[in-house]
Amino acid sequence: MTVFRKLLLPILIVLFCFSFLFIFVENNQKLTFEFSSSIRLEKYFPSLPKTDENNPKAESAAEDLSKSNDLKNQINVERPVLSKLTGACALDREVQSDVGKTIEPKYKLDPTRFLAVAGSRGPNNQIVSIRDSIYLAVALNRTLIIPPWFKHDRGDPTSNGSTTAIVPFHQRMDMSKIKSLISVIEPEDAQQACGEDGFDIIYRLQTICQKENYPRVQAIEEYYNFTSSSSLNLTYYCQNWKKQQLAPFETFPPPDELKSYKAGNFLQVASLADARKKLSSDHKCPVASYPYKCTPIMRQWHKPEADDGELSKAIFEHTQRPEHLEIFVDSFVRKYSPDKKFLSIHWRYDEKDWKNEQCKAIQYKLICDNFDLLSDSKAIADFLGKHLDKIGGEEVFDFIYIATPPSEMELIHGVQREFENQGRLKIVTQMQLIDALAENYANCGEKYEDLRFEILSLAEMEISITASTYYLSYGSSWSFNVAIERSVMGRGETISNTEIFSDLKEGKKL
């Protein structure tokens, strides 16, 4: 009995949890990734209060405010004179602050060996992919080739439903920050670096023939102007050979080695040394196909004593939104609160995507059992109002920003109106943000039109990262990325948005 209790029981519990996770990932491949439902938040955010601790400490928000402007001091990148931007479209490559400058990277990497990356699925997963790739580039000592991003096939109407519509890297991330961290080459130099044949192997970090992902390898080859892209004819392989069960495509590690790592759908590396053990090869231009949470950075960034703790933290600090967007968001927020004292709430419990997929799992019982409530503007407004009374929110915050996908805009607009009628705290949403963005990027014409959904999502992200307090939405990788950045940057408190239903929540665990 004691042996059973001490040894077998914990093992059985662990096995049970893992098999559940595995089955879940297997069955829900299409959506799990963009939602990251398998994440245990407390594991990644030591500062996050336990979910059953029913006590949002609103006062701490004010203290945390003082920390929130430290980023620029932490990252010592020379800033351009802002007047340089006046008149020019801030989205143009020429006006980005890294152009025409030599930036010394913290990690100098071998200039004769490269690493390209094809990002996984939606925009938030692609951010995870690029962070993983930076870790791998440092581990393998390879210069990173700046990748293109891809539009969201479902969330961005300008993609026309395509998973290969390209967005240049600098439109989502600040180039000078990444350049100050590691050695990179620009997309325009990829052809010269790799030769016309382009990629010589696939570093297989995730199953290679997923239909949203594999067409991207060819799309990247075309983007880099690799003229003879037949050497890695992944599209042809996934459409034809795979169905006929012909020999696996040329990937690394080779299939039998991969098997010995028990990789499953994902290949994971536990450390820098482990990455070198699993992914060292003599190839010149491998493409990492589709890294997704395959490195330990999310576990390591708050452990400076760990070998790769410092690198992990630096990766988050150097993968931030473009500077012009930071500047825009700063002035947008100050319109409503000169001291930037505000609460941001992410609301993402939509019936179609979220409920259908996430309520198959047991971990969101509280949300799934009360879904009607979550779809009712009046109920949300009442609960939010009561919650603010309880924490003294009207004194602590100047306004509330509610970030939401377009499908939930009507619902949130209802909450906004309800608050207005009750004379409560001001709620700001996309409706105000879209107008301000259009005005800010008015001189960008077509370029802004094409990128407006990207920019809207990035701006909402920046707002939520800046907020003195942030209420995240469970099971959303957008929320997850915001929460982890807030944590890394030492911003204010992050808690679950279900906290506003604390009356319902009494005695239950999420």
Ligand X SMILES: *[C@@H]1O[C@H](CO)[C@@H](O)[C@H](O)[C@H]1NC(C)=O
Q: What does the DSSP 8-state code read for residue 240? A: I
Q: Please say which residue, 229 or 251, places its beta carbon nearer to ligand X.
A: 229
Residue from 61, 138, 391, 444 that binds ligand X (CB under 6 A)?
138
Instruction: Tell me how many residues contact ligand X (CB under 6 A).
Output: 19
Using CB under 6 A as the binding rule, whether residue 107 contacts ligand X is answered as yes
Sign of CA dihedral 117, 118, 123, 129: negative
Question: Which span (230-238, 315-323, 351-359, 360-368) binds ligand X, by CB under 6 A?
Answer: 230-238
Query: What token pair was written down for 371?
Result: 């879904």
Of 82, 96, 98, 169, the closest CA to residue 129 belongs to 169
Q: Shortest Cβ distance from residue 160 to ligand X (Å)?
A: 4
CB of 230 to ligand X, least distance (A): 3
Q: Annotate 278-321 with three-state secondary structure.
A: HHCCCCCCEEEECCCCCCCHHHHCCCCCCCCHHHHHHHHHCCCC
In whole angstroms, how close is the CB of 142 to ligand X at the nearest point? 9
38, 60, 68, 225: which one contacts ligand X (CB under 6 A)? 225
Of the candidates 159, 163, 440, 487, which one interacts with ligand X according to CB under 6 A? 159
First CA to last CA across the chain, in angstroms? 32
Q: How far is the CB of 271 from ligand X (least distance, A)?
A: 14
Q: In angstroms, rounded to a whole number, what is the distance separating the alpha carbons of residues 181 and 337?
A: 33
Are the CB atoms for 275 and 140 separated by under 8 Å? yes
Comparing CB distances to ligand X, the nearer of 219 and 367 is 219
Residue of the chain from 78, 110, 257, 503 that contacts ligand X (CB under 6 A): 110
Say whether residue 109 binds ligand X (CB under 6 A).
Answer: yes
Nearer to ligand X, 152 or 505 (CB): 152
> What's the chain's length in residues?
510
The reply on whether position 160 binds ligand X by CB under 6 A is yes
* 43 near ligand X, rule: CB under 6 A: no
**Residue 40 to residues 12, 217, 271, Cα–Cα distance (Å):** 19, 31, 21
Cα angle, residue 298 at apex, residues 123 and 74 outer, rounded to 5°:
90
Q: Which is nearer to ligand X, 150 or 364 (CB)?
A: 150
- Among 28, 141, 377, 407, interactor with ligand X by CB under 6 A: 141
Rounded to the nearest 10°, the torsion over CA 290, 293, 294, 297 is: 130
Among 72, 84, 108, 508, binds ligand X (CB under 6 A): 108
Query: Is 271 near ligand X (CB under 6 A)?
Result: no
Of 16, 18, 22, 236, the one binding ligand X (CB under 6 A) is 236
Q: Does 162 bind ligand X (CB under 6 A)?
A: yes
Measured from the CB atom, the residue of 159 and 206 that comes closer to ligand X is 159
Q: Which two tokens stand for residue 3?
A: 């042996």
Task: Please identify, using beta-carbon distances, which residue of 78 and 110 lies nearer to ligand X.
Answer: 110
Report how far residue 444's alpha carbon sits from residue 460's, in angstroms, rounded to the nearest whole number: 20
The CA distance from 126 to 291, in Å, is 9
Binding site for ligand X (CB under 6 A): 107-110, 138, 141, 159-160, 162, 165, 187-188, 223-225, 229-230, 233, 236
